[in-house]
Structure 1
Amino acid sequence: MAQDMTLLWGSGSPPCWRVMIALEEKKLQGYNSRLLSFDKMEHKSQQVLDINPRGQVPSFKHGNVVVNESYAACFYLESRFKSQGTKLIPDGPEEQALMYQRMFEGLSLYDKLSAVIFYDYYVPEGERLESALKRNTETLVTELKLWEGYLEKLGSGSYLAGKDFTMTDVVVFPTVATAFRFGLSAGRYPKLGAYHALMKERPSIKASWPPHWLENLKGQDTLKDI
């Protein structure tokens, strides 16, 4: 069944990584994996546009079914292969509600992180303001402290929505990992640091770890002082 799947992706892209983790957790190894270069603008190639007219990755196709939005693709895989691999959506109403709440809150974390680490990329040089970056950084710190509090309340060894690994971890962990890749301090954010360490040992995470991160272990220090 995985042979009928094609994923076009870019290394280090949290949206792409979400889908890759979901595929691993649902035991769907063996899909057609095509790594594209952002530097060469391959995500704007005709190969991508044929699947995703937005010219973005991930671009995901299963047979004749196309699902390009990362959250949608992850939900599709869980729904289509519900009885296979890891159960990503809990049955209990309280557990399910918390899972949905945290996974969609993850979009806020992703946006606030991107506003800091990709500030120079998104904002033209002549429009950049130190005050805007400072404000974005303060907003990110507030968000990170919120997630620290969530994990503290759940207790040691917890995932983002409880004691069990869920869809929340599939879609939010890539954002957390990106924060640490850009220098976030585990000493300053110990609960997030412990969660990051816990997740790095999971087989699906090891199997999908961004290749260019493996080639260059150092990362960047953009967040080292926040």
Structure 2
Amino acid sequence: MAIKVYGAPGSTATLRVRACLAEKDLDYEFVKVDMANKEHKKPEFLARNPFGQVPVFEDGDLTLFESRAITQYLAHAYPDKGNSLIITDPKKMAILAVWIEVESQKFEPTASKLVWELILKSMLLGMSPDEAVVDEHEKKLEELLDVYEKRLSECKYLGGDSFTLVDLHHLPNLKYLMGTKVKRLFDARPHVSAWAADIQSRPGSIKAFTA
């Protein structure tokens, strides 16, 4: 088996790559990295990713890290496998690129902070969330989802009329947030709510989160 993914099952970045592999219907070997024992900081792992973060991806002699770079590679390297995930028309591709940047630069920082405070902080450290931080990032998320609501009133998905990488990139944080009180912010916006339900119900999404 040529493809390997080194990662942690609950890691949002790892889940992003696994969701992409599921969408592309590609077989791979998953190598669990024991983050609690700091395997990601040991020399053998640092040789694959000098930043000591998961996931690391291998396809034959190619080694990659950074989840969005990995999904871009998979979408372009395996165009005839599974679902496309990309757009080839230059103008539509540029619009897709804009929303990919929105996810990484605006959604990810806010959503990941909420995931940390509302879920992971308690799970990993046994600590309660900082409500001031939660309130601050809820407000940021509300403002962003207002923009999403307008966008999704114009097209079914953020990149256009088909499911693409930008929708997929949202999935891990979105999945976590749907289990918190923040879900109400998505539910309050009908187009956002429909989009969130749609992308979570895809077979590839379900497979990635239950594997």
TM-score normalised by the chain length of structure 1: 0.77
Deviation at 1:210, TM superposition (A): 5.2
Report how many aligned residue pairs link the two structures: 200
Whether contact under 8 Å (2:8, 2:35) holds in the other structure is yes
Deviation at 1:73, TM superposition (A): 0.7
Show the counterpart of 2:55: 58
Show the counterpart of 1:172: 170
* Partner SS state of residue 17, structure 1: helix
Q: 1:90 aligns with which of 83, 87, 98?
A: 87
**Which amino acid in the other structure matches residue 106 of structure 1?**
E
Show the counterpart of 1:189: 189
Q: 2:13 aligns with which of 12, 15, 28?
A: 15
Q: 2:22 aligns with which of 20, 24, 44?
A: 24
Whether contact under 8 Å (1:10, 1:35) holds in the other structure is yes
For residues 7 and 39 of structure 1, the distance between their equivalents in structure 2, rounded to whole angstroms, comes to 18
Correspondences of 1:1-226 after superposition (within 5 Å)? 3-29=1-27, 31-107=28-104, 108-119=106-117, 133-154=134-155, 158-183=156-181, 184-185=183-184, 186-209=186-209
Deviation at 1:103, TM superposition (A): 1.3
User: Which stretches of structure 1, 4 residues or longer, exceed 6 Å deviation after superposition?
Assistant: none
C-alpha change, 1:5 and 1:14, in structure 2 (3 Å) is same
Structure 2 unaligned segments of length 5 or more: list them: 122-128
Deviation at 1:207, TM superposition (A): 1.0
C-alpha change, 1:42 and 1:87, in structure 2 (3 Å) is same
**Which amino acid in the other structure matches residue 33 of structure 2?**
L
Structure 1 unaligned segments of length 5 or more: list them: 122-127, 212-226
For residues 181 and 131 of structure 1, the distance between their equivalents in structure 2, rounded to whole angstroms, comes to 20
For residues 16 and 209 of structure 1, the distance between their equivalents in structure 2, rounded to whole angstroms, comes to 10
Deviation at 1:193, TM superposition (A): 2.2
For residues 195 and 208 of structure 2, the distance between their equivalents in structure 1, rounded to whole angstroms, comes to 17
Whether contact under 8 Å (1:7, 1:61) holds in the other structure is yes
C-alpha change, 1:102 and 1:60, in structure 2 (3 Å) is same
For residues 13 and 46 of structure 2, the distance between their equivalents in structure 1, rounded to whole angstroms, comes to 17
Deviation at 1:109, TM superposition (A): 0.3
